[in-house]
Amino acid sequence: MAVTLNEFETSSETTVFNEEQDNARREQYLERRSLVLQFLQSNLSPQHLQHHHSKIELMKKCTFYLEVEPKHWNVRNQNNEMYRADILQVLDLCQFGKMKKVAKTQLEIQLTLLTELLEQLQQGQLELRRYTETWDMVTFLSRWDFITQRLAKLSEFMAKLLSLEVPGGLYVKHYLVSHADLRGIRGPDIKLTISMKAPVIFDRRQSLADSYWARLVWFSGNEETPEQYELLLLEANALREDRHNRVWVVSSNMCLVLDLQPGITYRFKIRRPHTDFLICSPWQDTITLTTRSNAIEGVGKSTCTLACGDM
């Protein structure tokens, strides 16, 4: 009888121990699974990834510039008098042109890396969700080291993506200042950085055409600071953009194109003008508008005019 009682007590203790062990493992599983779910919610949520996707797509349409610091430098003229010159007057324009090509290549690589990093994060999100939704407790705990390595790698990808979403500086390998223009003055320490401006996009709700005119409205992402834009008009049936086009320089975010022909489809393009600091402008928005048909043929002028400002 005593032996039987001891066996029962031992069996009971083993059962309790196993239950405690199972509870501890289940608690550990729930805790670790919760960590993965929190990582998904804070870093890899669909909304978060969509935000980065939209940001990268917007960057692909931006206009990029090579910023130079300092912007001015004191130099001597032929009479040995000091004056403050624009930095372009003392730069070696040949070397500066090469740096713009380097910057363009860097941007292309940067945009490619951003796309690849986002794809890795999207794939990682699917993998982590599969681990939390389909793996049982035993499999999840046995693969925890692998999961933590995956979390660490995805965190690296996210940090890299965030750093690349802001254009950086350029390493200046060559001396960019022309010695001939300095006349004995010490040259400036040139710092080059890449900046970007949001794309100029037509407002398709506000832009419209009547029989003899079209109103164009656009967004630039920086409406508070005055800028200049180039508005190009091209008949939609023209075979080449260098034929029958007109380009106006506009200093506001809207304008009227007057004296159009009725019943004609016109294509308009908006862009920022070229500057010496422009690296590239890979995308320019285009809108197509058709003027209303007019019952009276031959009415209207062939030369378009422009009216700009607040309308």
The answer to whether residue 173 scores a pLDDT higher than 70 is no
The answer to whether residue 164 scores a pLDDT higher than 80 is yes
**Cα separation values, 117 from 41, 130, 146, 154, 160, Å:** 18, 20, 20, 9, 8
Q: Considering only CA atoms, which of 226, 218, 233 is closest in space to residue 251? A: 226
The answer to whether residue 203 scores a pLDDT higher than 70 is yes
Would you say how long the chain is, in residues? 311
The mean pLDDT value for 207-215 works out to 93
What percentage of the chain has pLDDT greater than the value 90? 57
The mean pLDDT value for 52-63 works out to 94
- Average pLDDT of every residue of the chain: 83
Encode pLDDT of 12-40 as tens digits.
Answer: 555 554 677 778 899 999 999 999 999 99
The answer to whether residue 76 scores a pLDDT higher than 80 is no
User: Residue 190: its pLDDT value, please?
Assistant: 82
Confidence of residue 178 (pLDDT cuts 50, 70, 90): low
Q: Considering only CA atoms, which of 36, 64, 53 is closest in space to residue 279? A: 64
C-alpha span between 114 and 29 (Å, rounded): 34
Confidence of residue 276 (pLDDT cuts 50, 70, 90): very high
Burial of 82 (0-12, 13-18, 19+ CB in 10 A): exposed
* Amino acid, single-letter form, for residue 203: D
The mean pLDDT value for 242-249 works out to 72
The reported pTM is: 0.80
The answer to whether residue 311 scores a pLDDT higher than 50 is no
Full DSSP string of 111-171: HHHHHHHHHHHHHHHHHHHHHHHH--HHHHHHTHHHHHHHHHHHHHHHHHHHHHTS--EE-
C-alpha span between 281 and 107 (Å, rounded): 11
C-beta separation of 249 from 229 below 8 A:
yes
The mean pLDDT value for 171-192 works out to 65
Encode pLDDT of 251-264 as tens digits.
Answer: 999 999 998 889 98
Bridge partner list, 219: 201
The answer to whether residue 172 scores a pLDDT higher than 80 is no
Q: Considering only CA atoms, which of 304, 292, 311, 309 is closest in space to residue 268? A: 304
More confident call, 299 vs 174: 174
More confident call, 96 vs 236: 96
Rama region for 56: left / alpha / beta (φ>0; ψ in -120 to 50; rest): alpha
The mean pLDDT value for 230-255 works out to 75
